[in-house]
A = this chain, B = another copy of it.
């Protein structure tokens, strides 16, 4: 085995301006911008290279094709769709406030312009790139669903609410909270809701949902 760090000499010719990995990151970032701005078909590889500040020659040395570049970009973005919530904190709250917090977190994530823009790309291209639909399902949908479903189950087990199918319930809750504003954003009809609107909507949804499945003592 050879210890490259010291023993072997640097190669003869002109050294690389920067490590390939770094250049690749620059290309990925430029590609992200370009794809989000122009969609898959509309994105120009020349513009990607331009944005990244490298020549097309270097770009194609480091990335295989436009299609794979697209997949890398989307997967990287999707893998960051994580619903952050402090579960310890929720335990100390009354049920309705806890659900409100959850919905605020989910709404904030969902209405993020980057999220919407990525969703649009995924929906537009999932025919051509079925792996992207699968990745989206796995990384964006399942994970956030599980987080919310876990909480619902907990409340049910504590007798705070009455639900038979928690998975369906999560889907409904999410639809109620985000579908309409998100669709308006995607169509370019409305700007993202601001924080106050998100809070208001979350409160409404939480109340509606909890009243709808609060245990009845008939």
- In the complex, the answer to whether B204 meets A172 with C-beta atoms within 8 Å is yes
Asked whether any CB of chain B lies closer than 8 Å to the CB of A171, the reply is yes
- In the complex, the answer to whether B171 meets A126 with C-beta atoms within 8 Å is no
Assuming the A-B contacts A123-B187, A207-B212, are A175 and B168 also in contact, with contact meaning beta carbons closer than 8 angstroms in the complex? no
Min Cβ gap A74→B in Å is: 13
Docked Cα-Cα span, A209 to B168, in Å, equals 15
Asked whether any CB of chain B lies closer than 8 Å to the CB of A179, the reply is yes
Q: Which of B136, B177, B188, B212 contacts A212 (CB 8 A)?
A: B212
Assuming the A-B contacts A174-B180, A180-B171, A208-B209, are A186 and B39 also in contact, with contact meaning beta carbons closer than 8 angstroms in the complex? no
Instruction: Please give the number of chain A residues whose Cβ is less than 8 angstroms from any Cβ of chain B in the complex.
Output: 44
Assuming the A-B contacts A172-B208, A180-B171, A208-B172, are A187 and B120 also in contact, with contact meaning beta carbons closer than 8 angstroms in the complex? no
What are the residues of chain B within 8 A of A93 when measuring CB–CB? none
Docked Cα-Cα span, A172 to B209, in Å, equals 11
Contact with B along A156-182 (1 / 0, CB 8 A): 000000000000100111111111110
Asked whether any CB of chain B lies closer than 8 Å to the CB of A137, the reply is yes
Asked whether any CB of chain B lies closer than 8 Å to the CB of A30, the reply is no
Closest residue of chain B to A187 (Cβ to Cβ) is B133
Q: Which of B124, B175, B187 contacts A180 (CB 8 A)?
A: B175
Counting chain B CB atoms within 10 Å of each CB, which of A120, A183, A201 scores highest? Answer: A183
Closest residue of chain B to A173 (Cβ to Cβ) is B176
Asked whether any CB of chain B lies closer than 8 Å to the CB of A211, the reply is yes
Docked Cα-Cα span, A136 to B188, in Å, equals 11
- In the complex, the answer to whether A126 meets B175 with C-beta atoms within 8 Å is no
- In the complex, the answer to whether B213 meets A39 with C-beta atoms within 8 Å is no
Q: Which of B41, B120, B122, B208 contacts A41 (CB 8 A)?
A: B41
Asked whether any CB of chain B lies closer than 8 Å to the CB of A196, the reply is no
A interface list, Cβ under 8 A from B: 39, 41-42, 120, 122-124, 126-128, 130, 133-134, 136-137, 141, 168, 171-181, 183, 186-189, 201, 204-205, 207-214
The 4 A-B residue pairs with the shortest CB-CB distance, nearest first, are: A175-B179, A171-B180, A175-B175, A208-B212
